[in-house]
Amino acid sequence: MNRSGHLSLSGTEKQLRQYLLSLIDRQGLMIDSEKMVIDFNNNKEKIRIVHSYSRNEKLAEEKAFIDKWMPRVFKYFASGSDINPAEIRPYPVLIDNDDEYSALFRVAALWWSIPVSKGFGRRFRILIFDESNGKLFGLLALTDPVFNLSPRDAWIGWDVRTRERNLSHVMDANVLGAIPPYNELLGAKLVGLIAASDFVRNVFHKKYRNKLSLISRRYFDGRLAMITVTGALGRSSIYNRLRFNDSDVFIHVGYTQGYGHFHLANDIYEILRKYLRQIGDPEVSQFKYGAGPNYRFRVLRRALEHLGLPPDLLRHGIKRGVYLAPLASNAAAFLRGEAKQLQWYHRPLDSVIEYWRERWLIPRALRNKNYLEFKKESWKDILGLE
């Protein structure tokens, strides 16, 4: 601070401050005179435009990886002509090492116009293939959930201490969807059903049962009680009215508050972290396992403070729809600590697939032939390849 009480910035800090503000402006977010992001109507096309900067940056970062792996994984992508809807036989495969399947997931996840998160903490990824032709149908990834999610916590009825103890029984689906041309056949509905199926619950149990938590220092029993997911474009047609055995699988419980850091894209985050290290701010050294995304928020807030910018610059105003998929009829009571046993919903994988086939696949294929128009060569445009 100088004698008048105003923040004194060096020439380098002024340049960094201006670069950060121009980055936000280039993404289509407007800033008022108080350096606050101005709200805009949450129409889906506007949200895609705002995210396009981050997506283009992601494609540029992944270019070398795409160039290396696309020739090897291209065989897994389908054209519409490769598909006979009556013969589609989806089956999930758990990725358990860094092989060709891992590369396929990483490349295919670049299809979405909203860049997907890698997640943090406990994570596992699933590829869904079509057995009838060996092509990739869709992707599903689960990760540790964020600690604070108001609509989820209110629905469960959590206090802070109980949430801290039982959050390990919840996972977040940070990647969920079908890729072209299966997306035209409502394939994402099936991926949503698989996320809430016995298959995923059993994978989780096998993977995490009897594992020692590095944070709580307690052995985990491996029970998964709930899946959360957020709709990047607000309310989602994937999860709305997604039913199985005459009951809703996903429950819409509200919206996020529109805070995040996607608009402070990866390059500026690393620059700001380096800046904090150079000026000796202790926050940059506070990372530890389990800090998750909160560490990134803390780093960004501290950097904004040093640069004379309000922490509300992290408020981009894009509110995501919050959906919950309880895996048991008493999931909320269990997560509150009021029930010791979970009364599981029974959603066998075969039954889930057959239900999707009859409820969505066949009717969609009869009335809409758009899937036939997709050519696998379109992936070159999707991935920004020449």
Residue ranges of domains in the chain: 62-259+315-382
Residue pair 263/27 in contact by the 8 Å Cβ criterion: yes
Please name the helix (run of DSSP H) or strand (run of DSSP E) that holds residue 135, with its range, or none.
Answer: strand 135-143
Return the closest-CA partner of residue 94 out of 257, 182, 254, 204: 204
Best CA proximity match to 174, nearest among 220, 210, 141: 141
pLDDT at 93 over 70: yes
Residue range 62-259+315-382, CATH number = 3.40.630.30
pTM (2 d.p.): 0.84
Cβ-based neighbours of 194, under 8 Å, separated by 6 or more: 92, 126, 128, 140, 200, 349, 352
Which of 63-72, 117-126, 225-234, 260-269 comes out lowest in average pLDDT? 260-269
Judged by DSSP in three states, 104 sits in helix
- Higher pLDDT, residue 327 or 266: 327
Look at residue 116 and tell me whether its pLDDT is greater than 80: no
DSSP state of 359: I
Q: List the Cα angle 314/316/318 in 5-degree steps.
A: 140
What is the residue-wise DSSP string for 59-95? Answer: HHHTHHHHHHHHHHHGGG---GGG--GGG--EEEEE-
- pLDDT band for position 82 (50/70/90)? very high
Spatial distance between the Cα atoms of 200 and 352, rounded to a whole number of angstroms: 12
